Structure formats: structure tokens, C-alpha cells
Amino acid sequence: MKILIIGGAGMVGRKLAERLAKDGKLGGREIEALTMFDVVAPTAPKGAKFAVNTATGDLPAKGETDKLVANKPDVIFHLAAIVSGEAEQEFDKGYRINLQGTQNLLESVRHTYEKNLKKPRVVFTSSVAVFGAPFPEKIGDDFHSTPLTSYGTQKAIGELLLSDYTRKGMLDGIGIRLPTICVRPGTPNKAASGFFSNICREPLAGKEAVLPVSEDVMHWHASPRAGVEFLIHAATIDGEKLGARRNLSMPGLAVTVGQQIAALRKVGGEKVVARIRREPDAFIQKIVAGWPSNFDPKRALALGFKADNSFEEIVRIHIEDELDGLIG
């Protein structure tokens, strides 16, 4: 089996590659080669018993996606995108990367596998940002997609394209709407949702963090571990069980910022929580106000996708996986 990860230098792509290297298999099939692609050089996972190739490039550039699928990977994970805040501020860049890059990939798959009876499984990471207010108490599987941000619009179009190319038999696609992945390791980025991780990650590392919204803001979360499990399951699930509806909202945890802080306090103590500084940001507040906060993902749960048990568990996962069990 050959696998391609587009967006392999990102946090989720890196963790996915590490998981594949550890398992050596995907869906019971031995992995023979993995390609990791991004705009910056990805880091190959340690201990892989299969060939790992890393590559850099500009996804929407002419011919780039043709090169990526030339060796006909069996599974393609499309994780590459510029994040929500940047997509909102950089309109042209957002559409070029998040939409044109995606459409180029689908077109390359269409033509490269045209004579192949078996088409590749394409796993597209979408977002809960495809939904826009006003929201019901919980967003079910039949709620309409009316995004209120450029990022959400780009992801919604990507979902429609994925479904149509699948319907036409050009590929075997599944789109998974990820909750906000929290607590993300690394450093703060331009994602409008970044503060959800920042207010946990930075204090746990002994650093100050800024909270730009009120504590009553509720959001939908999943740990990096859960995010990788979503991707693995999406890559291996029987496509016939999905039917024509190829895009799914993933399960997660609906918690308020205040509940996040309470979980952080329970795990790390008052000293850690005291490192959070309240600093309202109207730009972030406006974006977050247009996002959904709670879901009823019955289809995903019925299909075997699983969420974390509590936000406290999410905090402990970060400490275990990123801090060697130590709190700063």
C-alpha cells in the first residue's frame, strides 16, 4: 500500500505519519511507501519500516498535484490548508490554497487513475466552520451548510467537490469535519481558534497565555490522538456504508472556555491557571461567534468514530504526549 499525506509538516500530518510508522499497516494492509508533502519540509517519522519520501512545493502551482499522485497512492490524506484567521484576512490566498489546491488535487486524481478500476481513498479534512449561525442547540447530521467565514466557505466547496467526484466514480472520497484539535502542541499560529489550545498549552509549559473571549464561549473539541484516529478510521471504512453522503461531522466534546480552565486547574493547579491573561479581541470574538459549538453526530458515531471522554482527559493527553508527563 502506498500513502500520500498532503500537509505532512503540520501537527496532525506529523502525528498521523508517526502512527502509520508505528503500526506499519493501514486497514490490515502492509504499508510499502509513504510520501509526506507540504510547503515546508516535513519530518519523516522515526522507526518506519517502509520507504518514506518527503517533498516540498506549492500545492496549487501548475503540475504540482500531478507529480504528487503520479505513483498512484492507494490512500491520500488531504490535510493542507491555511487556517481560519489567515483565510479571513488573506482572501485571495485562502481561495488559492484551500480551494484551488483541493480542486487541482481532485483533477489530478481523476486523470491519473482514469484507466484504473480501483480508485484511491481520498480523506479530506473539512471543518465545523462549514456551518453558520443561527444554530440549533445541537447540530445534527441534516443541518444546512451556510458558512459565515471565507475559510468555512472554502471547506464547504471542497466537500461538494469531493462528493461529486466520488459520485462520478473518479475517486473514493470521505470528508471529515474535525472539531478544533486541542490541546495542539507547538507554538501559536494564525488560526482564530488557536487560543483554545494556547490557554492550556502555554500555562502548562510555564508561559503566559492570552484569552481573547469570555469564559462562557462554548466550542467543539477533540484531542490530537482522537484526530489521528478519525483519519485512520476514515481511510479504512467501507465506502458502501457511507452511501452518497460523503461528509461527516466528527464526534467531540462541547465545553466552555470556563470548563476548559476548570479542567486545567484540576490537572495543573492554580499556579498554572494564573498564567492566563484576559485580553478581549473583537476580531477573534466576531469569528468565533459565527462558529457552531455543539453537535449530535449520530452518523459518525454509528460508523465507529469515537471522541475523547472529557476535557480533563484531553489536557492529560497533552501532558503525556508532549511534556513527558511534566508540568512547567
Q: What is the CATH number of the domain that holds 235?
A: 3.40.50.720
pLDDT of residue 114: 95
H helices of the chain, where? 11-23, 64-68, 84-89, 91-94, 101-112, 150-167, 194-204, 224-236, 239-242, 257-268, 270-273, 282-289, 298-302, 311-322
Please indicate, yes or no, if residue 209 is contained in any of the structural domains: no
In 10 A of CB 145, how many CB atoms? 18
pLDDT of residue 165: 98
Q: How many domains does the chain have?
A: 1
Greatest pairwise CA separation for the chain in angstroms: 62
pTM greater than 0.75: yes
Please indicate, yes or no, if residue 13 is contained in any of the structural domains: yes
Please indicate, yes or no, if residue 6 is contained in any of the structural domains: yes
Which three cell numbers, joined as nine digits, stand for 79?
A: 490535510
Please indicate, yes or no, if residue 137 is contained in any of the structural domains: yes
pLDDT of residue 8: 98
Cβ neighbours of residue 238 under 8 Å, at least 6 residues apart?
none
Asked if 81 and 98 touch (Cβ cutoff 8 Å), the reply is yes
Residue with cell 499560529: 189
Asked if 151 and 84 touch (Cβ cutoff 8 Å), the reply is yes
Single out the residue of 124, 147, 123 nearest to residue 135, CA to CA: 147
Could you give the CA distance from residue 149 to residue 288 in angstroms, rounded to a whole number?
10
pLDDT of residue 288: 85
Q: Which is catalytic among the residues 95, 113, 151, 165?
A: 151
Residue 80's Cβ-side half-sphere holds a number of Cα atoms within 13 Å equal to: 32
CA dihedral 155, 161, 163, 167 (to 10 degrees): 180
Q: Could you confirm whether 151 is annotated as catalytic?
A: yes
> What are the C-alpha distances in Å from 35 to residues 62, 73, 77, 172, 234?
19, 9, 10, 19, 19
pLDDT of residue 328: 81
Please indicate, yes or no, if residue 210 is contained in any of the structural domains: no
Which segments in the chain show pLDDT lower than 70?
none
Residue with cell 461531522: 249
Provide the domain limits for residue 245. 2-179+223-249
pLDDT of residue 190: 73
Please indicate, yes or no, if residue 86 is contained in any of the structural domains: yes
* Residue 203, beta-bridge partner list: none
